[in-house]
Amino acid sequence: MIINDEDWERGNPGAPPHVQRMWELCDWDSFPDDASDEKPYLWHPIKGAWVTIEDAVLFDSKRELAALQQKDLLSAVEIAEAESLSARIKELEEA
């Protein structure tokens, strides 16, 4: 049993709501110096870091694909979604 709020792994859906809300609080002290209109950053609560939009999409796509791949039996829609996610991940990694 986890007693301290800080001991929860980021992104754990079993974490209490108040812990999940803490993850959403931006760490403004770590905001990147190279941020600009051309290179915007956003706070990623699961990573606990500032990321570019491309990095956030890549991270989230990989998590979605991993969740799909853990299923034993996929529907046709889920197979198509997994293929689409794989293509998007490849495209983002090559960019």
The pLDDT of residue 2:
59
pLDDT tens string for the chain (95 positions)?
556 777 888 888 888 999 999 999 999 999 999 999 999 999 998 889 999 988 888 888 888 888 888 888 878 888 888 889 889 888 888 87
Q: What is the pLDDT of residue 25?
A: 93
Q: Quick one: which of 54, 56, 62 has its CA closest to 89? A: 62
Q: Identify the pLDDT of residue 30.
A: 95
Give the separation between CA 47 and CA 11, rounded to whole angstroms: 8
20 contacts: CB under 8 Å, gap ≥ 6 = 45
CA–CA distance, 69 with 87 (Å, rounded to integer): 15
> According to the model, what pLDDT value does residue 57 have?
87
What pTM was estimated for this model as a whole?
Answer: 0.61
Give how far Cα 21 sits from Cα of 24, 64, 77, Å. Answer: 5, 21, 32
pLDDT of residue 73: 81
Q: How far apart are CA 59 and CA 69, in angstroms?
A: 15
pLDDT computed for residue 32 by the predictor? 95
